Amino acid sequence: MPTERTSSGDPARTLQLLWRDAPAAPDRRRGPRRGLSIDAVIDAATAIADTEGLDALTMRRVAKDLGVVPMTLYTYVPGKAELLDLMLDAAYARMPRTDTTGRPWRQRVTALAEENKALFARHPWAATVSTARPPLGPGQMAKYEHELSALDGLGLTDVEMDDCLAHLLAFVQASARAAADARAARHDSPMNDQEWWEANAPLLARVLDEKTYPTAVRVGAAAGAAHGSAYDPDHAYAFGLERVLDAFAALIDRGTGG
């Protein structure tokens, strides 16, 4: 399945819409028409994506939910590519931002991770979108400014600050996608993880020879017993975040001579 990407539409038109520096809506003197706004279109599209995923999101579907014909919608947003940028930037703008002033840097960075984890929990589709070319709207820029403040004053160079933030956000996004995959697997199966492993234990015992795979069998059994399954999203997130913070600590200590 192709990955949805930000900034894949008309860049000039997208920036106009993101910063609301766009031409006015069509002249309404031609006849009665239900009043719309860009924000109403964004909200309707986001509601569809939140409940049904991006595959269900089409301009026609958004128009239907808003009670207008598709051509009316196109007078507000040129297409789905631009609409996706608007949706993501709006989600960024509405993110709660934790005031971590005066807290230790590990607590500040952990708060950033939790904020983004919560974003992907509210909008699972956002974790599936590639932002290699980010939509540079007001929501994106406010988010970036807020997040950089957690890394400022730690002895990192500007490039290192950006690198650390990008690494943290990539980790959280990957964790969110893995957690969504695990939820989908549980939803699609009549058995939970423990029941699945118990049902398949006899077959696995026959094919997984302890003499051939001694380390894999030993470690896999220990991990399965500890987590109740082969993969525990919450444990993986907590463990991974600590390792990310440890790596940042090494970089910060090197930069400050600690």
CATH number of the domain to which 126 belongs: 1.10.357.10
Residue 3 is assigned to a structural domain of this protein:
no
Question: In the prediction, which pLDDT does 256 show?
Answer: 65
Residue 113 CA to residue 147 CA, distance in Å, equals 10
Per-residue pLDDT, 14: 93
Q: How confident is the model at residue 258 (pLDDT cuts 50, 70, 90)?
A: low
Domain-located, residue 2: no
Chosen domain end from 92, 122, 142: 92
Decide if 16 is inside a domain: yes
Last residue of a domain, one of 32, 65, 92: 92
Residue 232 has which token pair? 């525990």
N-term to C-term CA, the chain: 47
User: Which tens digits make up the pLDDT trace of 178-189?
Assistant: 999 988 877 777
The count of structural domains within the chain is 2
CB 126 within 8 A of CB 171: no
One domain for residues 88 and 116: no
Q: In this structure, is residue 48 part of a structural domain?
A: yes
The closest of 146, 139, 141 to 86, measured between CA atoms, is 139
What is the pLDDT, as a whole number, of residue 54?
A: 96
Query: 129 and 51 in one domain?
Result: no
Q: Are residues 178 and 196 in the same domain?
A: yes
- Domain assignment present for 208: yes
227 and 203 both lie in a single domain: yes
Same domain, 40 and 128: no
Predicted confidence (pLDDT) at residue 222 exceeds the cutoff of 80: yes
Query: What pLDDT was estimated at residue 67?
Result: 96
Range of 135's domain?
98-256
Instruction: Please determine, for residue 177, whether its predicted confidence score (pLDDT) is greater than 90.
Output: yes
Is residue 37 a part of any domain in this protein? yes
The answer to whether 59 and 84 are in contact (CB under 8 A) is no
Residues 244 and 168 in one domain: yes
- pLDDT, tens digit (0-9, with 9 covering 90-100), for 3-47: 799 999 999 999 999 998 855 444 444 444 457 999 999 999 999
Average pLDDT across the chain, whole number: 89
Residue 5 placed within a domain: no
Q: What pLDDT digit, counting tens, does each position of 124-139 carry?
A: 999 999 999 988 999 9
Is 116 contained in some domain? yes
Please report the pLDDT score of residue 228 as a whole number.
76
Shared domain for 135 and 163, answered yes or no, is yes
Is there a single domain that holds both residue 131 and residue 229?
Answer: yes
Buried b (16+ CB within 10 A) or exposed e, 65-84: ebebeeebbeebbbebbbbb
Residue 78, domain CATH: 1.10.10.60
Rounded Cα distance between 252 and 254, Å, is 5
Whether pTM > 0.85 for this model: the answer is yes
* Percent of the chain topping pLDDT 90: 69
Considering 67, 92, 117, which residue would you say is the last residue of a domain? 92
Q: Are residues 145 and 242 in the same domain?
A: yes
Q: What is the predicted pLDDT for the residue at 123?
A: 98
Residue 193 token pair: 């993880």
**Residue 134 and residue 71 share a domain:** no
Q: What is the dihedral of CA 30, 33, 39, 40, to 10 degrees?
A: -170
- 181-188 contacts: CB < 8 A, separation 24 or more? 182/231, 182/233
Residue 206 has pLDDT above 90, yes or no: no
User: Who wins on pLDDT, 205 or 239?
Assistant: 239
**With 70 as the cut, is the pLDDT of residue 112 above it?**
yes
Assess whether 132 and 242 both reside in one domain.
yes
**26 and 49 share one domain:** yes
